[in-house]
Chains A and B, each alone.
Chain A
Amino acid sequence: MELTGLFFYFVSFLTMAGIYAVICLALNIQWGFGGLFNAGIAGFYAIGAYSAAIITSTAASNNVGGLQQPIFVGMAVAAVIAGLVGWGIARLCVSLKSDYLAMATIGIAEIIRLVIVNEEWLTNGSLGVSNIPRPFEGVFKGQTAEIVFVLFVWIIVLLTYFISQRLHKSPWGRVLRAIRDNEDAAESIGKDTHSFRTQTFVIGAIFMALAGALSAHYFKYFSPDATEPILITFLAWVMLIAGGSGNNKGAIAGALVVWAIWSMTEILTGFLPSEWATRSSYMRMLLIGLFLQFVLQRYRSGLLPERAPKLDKLRRS
């Protein structure tokens, strides 16, 4: 084992984990703060990935695209489009109670997926968008570029974290927790719960789209098979619940730990004799399930449980 190899494995590990961390932080804003059960994460992720891909790609095959805009423009457009779509959806669905909201968002994510697969003029359908650039690609090449990209991803993670932390501590965050824990009480003191929930949903959707944009730049190619709900929606939920919903550090920790379980179990099953090659992959799926069971059972309220921010001279909420 070479140390450089190990180092670059961690680089690629941290890149994926960082992208998941952004999704988790976004979900934490929606679920952890606001109690909005969004089961359509993959939809917003896909909107972000495709917006960024179409805006920044250097050449397009038979769809619109190849607009060759800078990465930051692509991310901004991704955020705006996801925000607008999120706003539209929130207007319609956000007043639904948690399980109904879950059903509605599953449906919406499926609609988004079908639009992406079928509107070939826009997304090139199942063939996917290629020629997506990476940030600073012209300056850094090869393995250096990998390091630059992981830094880029984690800058976005930290940015998301600070914004999220700020929201958590602000009066706005307090209102959200009040709405989450007792909607009627919050309304009785004059808070417009519908508007607060809409804002929460939109902010979450924007960060999910940013995570999608990061993936598109990482793969430099994006096709519908990268928006599998099990790899995005399901995994993000597991990460947040394992990490501790309501806690931003927990969201990041959950992303790291669960992605570590997902990724490193293959190293464990790699020890099985090579005749077991096909079976060991299924063993790995079993191991992932077992580890997740363990984390979820052992840490019922997450690795880092929610802690309400301290309030000066006020009782803890």
Chain B
Amino acid sequence: MNKTLLMLTTAACITFAGLAGAEDIKVGALMGVTGPLANFIPPILNGAKLAEADVNKGGGLLDGQTMKLVVADSQASAQPSVDAAGKLVNIENVVAIMGALSSGATIAAANAVAIPNGVLQVSPTATAPSMTNLEDNDYVYRIVPSDNYQGKVLARAVLEEGFKKVAITYVNNDYGVGIGNTFKVEYEKLGGVVTKFSKHEDKKNSYRGELATLASSSADALVVIAYAAGSGAKIVKQSLENGFFEKFIGTDGLRDDILIQQIGAEALASSFFTSPSSPSSNAATEAFHARFDETFGGGSDKPFVDQAYDATMLIALAIQQAGSTDRAAVKNALRSVANAPGEIVGPGEWAKARELISAGKDINYEGVSGAHEFDENGDVAGYIGKYIVEGDSYKQTKIFN
């Protein structure tokens, strides 16, 4: 009897879920709320929520309907991501999906749900090179450059800093392997010497053995491609404690406040970091960050906040441009609102964008995190920023593109 009760409750819930807010236009946010990326999520989600708020304050979608962000948990893994995306598309009936975050979750959800059901999917963070050649009928996009790109830029940045000999340690997952390999190839091509190239497993307690080997190779600095919360902070800490390395070069995974909290700003003074970033000339970025901190009490410097806002905004603009919630029409409208030519619309300018679209003008969204010109694969070139530690946070000192 209990089983029947359970089934009835679930069935009732499904029905109600569909009835609630039928007037709203729903956009899915596929986020790894629980799981290995949980640390990153709250600020990223706030970025998306700010976009939702901007749209709703600036007149809403289409004829003033409310945009509603529906969050689903991808757990940063393939199976739950496919399941969550299936619910967004079929139960919540979303027009498009913003997400997922990790590449494995993104590609699985795209292949098993978004592409066959014909739903636009824009990932703010998936960086795996294999996404470029996905057979996606033009339904899958991302607004961060592929790892190939960050690896190449990192190589240039390291040489510019005057490091001719570096040792590399990278975490053994898609993120670490992707950036690590492209960095090595590019760095050596530009004349740098990689003294040691080794991968490490995430979440170990001690990396002293690996670090001792890396240190014995007399490198100028250690390139750490890892997440601070996983292995990155431990590697930096143990290197400093044992005198293996003093200078570190990290990517966006390491550029985390946890690192400064655990190591201290002083010890990181000679280190620098790269991370997907925004064009330096974009005044809108600073305004956006100020507005973000005001709304949520801080967090605008966290990774991928800008991208989450832009991805959500692009989806909203595509819906507005399409003039309907028809999924295929929304997909077809995305390039026209994202790419040049067209009148430039920035973050927070939803009302202006609405007017321009209703006047039949072509628009071009230039976001917080870049201009977002999609190529034929749905990839963007993007910008990579160089950061140093200043006080208890990170400061961007240079932009590469």
Q: Which residues of A contact B (CB under 8 A)?
A: 1-2, 5-9, 12-13, 15-16, 61, 117-118, 120, 125-128, 130-131, 141-143, 145-146, 215, 218-226, 228, 231, 257, 260, 262-264, 266-268, 270-271, 274, 277-278, 280-282, 284-285, 291, 294, 298, 303
Contacts and interface: CB of A to CB of B under 8 A. Distances in A.
Contacts of B112: 12, 15, 218-220
6 contacts: A118-B199, A142-B116, A220-B112, A225-B77, A277-B33, A294-B2
Interface in B288-314: none
B13 A228 contact: no
Contacts of B14: 1, 6, 264, 267
A118 B79 contact: no
Contacts, number: 177
B18 A128 contact: no
A227 B90 CA distance: 26
B89 interface: yes
A106 B173 CA distance: 21
A128 B82 contact: no
Contacts of B174: 126-128, 223, 225
Contact of B45 (A125, A278, A282): A278
Nearest to B71: A277
A291 B5 CA distance: 12
Contacts of B80: 231, 262
B177 A274 contact: no
**Chain A interface SS verdict (over half):** helix
Given A12-B83, A225-B77, A231-B77, A5 B33 contact: no
Given A266-B84, A277-B71, A125 B130 contact: no
A226 B79 contact: yes
Given A226-B108, A264-B10, A126 B172 contact: yes
Nearest to A62: B181
B70 interface: yes
B79 A16 contact: yes
Given A5-B93, A9-B87, A277 B45 contact: yes
Contacts of B108: 219, 221, 226
Given A221-B107, A274-B49, 14 more contacts: A1-B91, A1-B93, A8-B89, A126-B177, A127-B128, A130-B130, A219-B108, A221-B108, A221-B111, A225-B78, A262-B83, A266-B87, A268-B13, A298-B2
Contacts of A268: 10, 13
B111 A142 contact: no
A215 B104 CA distance: 13
A218 B49 CA distance: 32
Contacts of B138: none
Contact of B83 (A6, A221, A225, A263): A263
B72 interface: yes
Contact of B172 (A118, A215, A294): A118
B91 A6 contact: yes
Contact of A127 (B45, B72, B129, B199): B129
A218 B174 CA distance: 20
A2 B92 CA distance: 10
A285 B90 contact: no
A12 B130 contact: no
Contacts of A5: 18, 89-91, 93
B109 to A, nearest CB: 9
Given A118-B172, A277-B45, A12 B111 contact: no
Nearest to A279: B33
B15 interface: yes
Interface in B24-73: 29, 33-34, 41-42, 45, 49, 68-73
A131 to B, nearest CB: 8
B322 interface: no
Nearest to A225: B104
